[in-house]
Amino acid sequence: MDDLGRQYLDDAIRELRKYKAFGERAAAQVEDEAWFRTLDPEGNSIALVMKHMTGNMRSRWTDFLTTDGEKPDRNRDSEFETEDSDTAESIRERWEDGWSRVFAAIEALEPADLLRTITIRGEKHTVLQAINRQLTHYASHVGQIVFLAKHLAGDRWETLSIPRGKSQQFDVNKSGTPYRP
């Protein structure tokens, strides 16, 4: 179990670092003032998605093993409202703080911790379940950030993965070397 648990924890951290980088690389392609644009009156902006994610991160990962993952001082609804103090820079600072909490909490875990029980909103989860819950939550929101950034960047968008029409250049043959037509 220790080897598998360590492998899982290392993989979770690696994937979360990818999500963080994808969100950052996408948002960096949009001018700061565009971070606050929405596609419709009910939509969220890049800034609000990031603000929500960081509110969630602070709540979930602070005292991760010892307190409920929904902290009593969290005001989730305010995460979806733009305040006068919200700037791209303040959102970036929250983003860094949130991710540092995620990584610090997971990096402190040992494989045996994966089966410990914690609570989120009073609901019991194993640590493994809680990490998986956050992996999927963050992946969906980073996808929203990428979608919004791609829309807002328009023809200035630089792809974060394999460009259209270039898949063969990224395919790998059985020997492990890239395919070259």
> What does the pLDDT look like over 25-53, one tens digit per residue?
999 999 999 999 999 999 999 999 999 99
This model's pTM is above 0.85: yes
> What does the pLDDT look like over 70-126, one tens digit per residue?
999 999 999 999 999 999 999 999 999 999 999 999 999 999 999 999 999 999 999
CA distances from 94 to 52, 125, 127, 150 (A): 10, 26, 24, 22
- Rounded CA-CA distance 30/42 in Å is 21
Going from the N-terminus, what domains does the chain have, and what CATH number goes with each?
A: 2-170 (1.20.120.450)
Q: What is the pLDDT of residue 26?
A: 98
Q: Which residue has the higher pLDDT, 181 or 122?
A: 122
